[in-house]
Chains A and B, each alone.
Chain A
Amino acid sequence: MTIDRLLEGLKARDPRAIGRAISLVENGDDCAEAILSSLDEDLIAKATVLGITGPPGAGKSTLTNAIISQLRLSRKRIGIIAIDPTSPISGGAILGDRIRMMQHATDPDVVMRSMATRGRLGGLCATAGAALRIMASCGCSTIIIETVGVGQSEMDIIRLADITLLVLAPGLGDDIQAMKAGLLEVADLLVVNKADCKGADILAMDLEAVIRKGSPIPTKVSMTVATESKGIKELLDRIDKVDSEHRESGEREKRRRGAHDQEVLDWCLEILRPKLLAEISKRKLPLLGDPRLEAKKILAEQ
């Protein structure tokens, strides 16, 4: 596919073009810039990015699937980015999140993409952000990023979202206190999934007691049974409410600015990384030299 055809395809919302565009940006291909500068900034500004995170076993993918079904009832065009970890040993990954969402595979208004973290410390935000923008530019009014909230890079991704849901479930063995403080801070809405299971009410009570301090918006706990599509409509209503409040108060602007800066930083690192690596190996630095001094030297000469 030539670049012009690709750009045309993107405008026409051709799934092949969208899929290819995301790959090219993810792989840092030469055409990435051409693609990214062709995007519709207006649509990107209007879209809402929903982050869904939580420990494994909470039912995130099932919940995402239920949310998609509900949103499709109002004919919204939706994008989903599902992120799974890359194996540090082999460099490969099993991307299995979309298994629970396959019923939407043939729906032309559901644009799904599975991404691996590729062991990057940086760069994940950059590429996820770019994929987000490509999806928004092709008309997705809501884009969902789904990721397991256990690593630093996954935490960073969530900052790309306008609104973040933290999904928990009873009996997973997490103590609220034991949970990484980061996750609770980042969440706009707390969801207790598998609400029909024992311990759900207690978990909800515990969570309500740990609500984000200093937040102008009280974070209430939503109860869902994703496998039975229960509580989904109420959850979406809450999300809409939070969304309007964020837009009014300027919070959304603030977050987008933060996300934008985060992405720029990420791209800086992503672009610099290979150059710096090449420079380091070229210099054959002595083992006993101080790494920090060496770094400053290299940067000064860039």
Chain B
Amino acid sequence: MFNQCRLRLKMTERTHKKRVLVGKPGLDGHDRGAKFIAHALRDAGFEVVYTGIRRSPEEIAAAAIQEDVHAIGLSSLSGAHMRLFPAVVEALSKAGAPEIPVLGGGVIPDEDIVALKQAGIVEIFTPGTPVDTIIKAFHEACEKKSAG
């Protein structure tokens, strides 16, 4: 009756928008960076579901799934990224949406970046990364998700 249709999301101007969730897991309350990225993504045409501070990994994953986002952006300045970022990846997996890419930023030493990528985080942005680089990475992550 209904054919199986491969779901391709075309990026036409009015309809298909890239949706991203930006939030801060854990107790760190410094949201200047997260807010800046949320605004920058908005200015680059993304729809940004901004969930604020003090979110648990489970809350972030649940919201990301409900909002059917193409990517998630996390921020952490308190050093708890090694525990919290992979926890979000895990929560996504548990909730049945392991394909949503997770990108992260904040005060993160270089050695941790390797471990985080191994844990499934797609990209990590350290202080001083130009915003264009970050936006480009989100574009790519979203496109990969749509194609996959």
Contact = CB atoms under 8 A, between A and B. Distances in A.
A94 B38 contact: yes
A94 B39 contact: yes
A111 B66 contact: yes
B22 to A, nearest CB: 9
27 contacts: A3-B2, A18-B66, A22-B68, A23-B19, A26-B15, A27-B9, A28-B15, A29-B7, A86-B47, A90-B42, A90-B45, A92-B44, A92-B47, A93-B42, A93-B47, A93-B48, A94-B39, A94-B42, A95-B48, A95-B50, A95-B67, A99-B50, A99-B51, A102-B59, A105-B63, A112-B67, A116-B17
Nearest to A38: B2
Contact of A94 (B2, B13, B48): B48
A15 interface: yes
Interface string A106-137: 10000111101011100000000000000000
A3 B49 contact: no
A19 B4 contact: no
Contacts of B68: 16, 19-20, 22-23
A15 B48 contact: no
A2 B6 CA distance: 7
B33 interface: no
Nearest to B35: A94
A87 B48 CA distance: 12
A2 B50 contact: no
A31 B47 contact: no
Given A31-B5, A87-B42, 15 more contacts: A3-B2, A3-B4, A3-B7, A4-B2, A16-B95, A18-B66, A19-B65, A19-B66, A23-B19, A28-B15, A90-B42, A98-B49, A99-B50, A102-B63, A112-B63
Interface of A: 1-4, 14-16, 18-20, 22-24, 26-31, 34, 86-87, 89-96, 98-99, 102, 105-106, 111-114, 116, 118-120
B14 interface: yes
A111 B46 CA distance: 22
B96 interface: yes
A15 B95 contact: yes
Interface of B: 2-5, 7, 9, 13-17, 19, 38-39, 41-52, 55-56, 58-60, 62-63, 65-68, 95-97
Contacts of B55: 102
A106 B48 contact: no
Contact of B9 (A3, A29, A105, A119): A29
B7 A1 contact: yes
Contact of B43 (A24, A87, A98, A105): A87
B68 to A, nearest CB: 4
A20, A96, A105: most-surrounded residue (chain B CB, <10 A): A105
A121 to B, nearest CB: 11
A113 B2 contact: no
Nearest to A23: B68
A19 B5 CA distance: 18
A92 B68 CA distance: 16
A119 B47 CA distance: 12
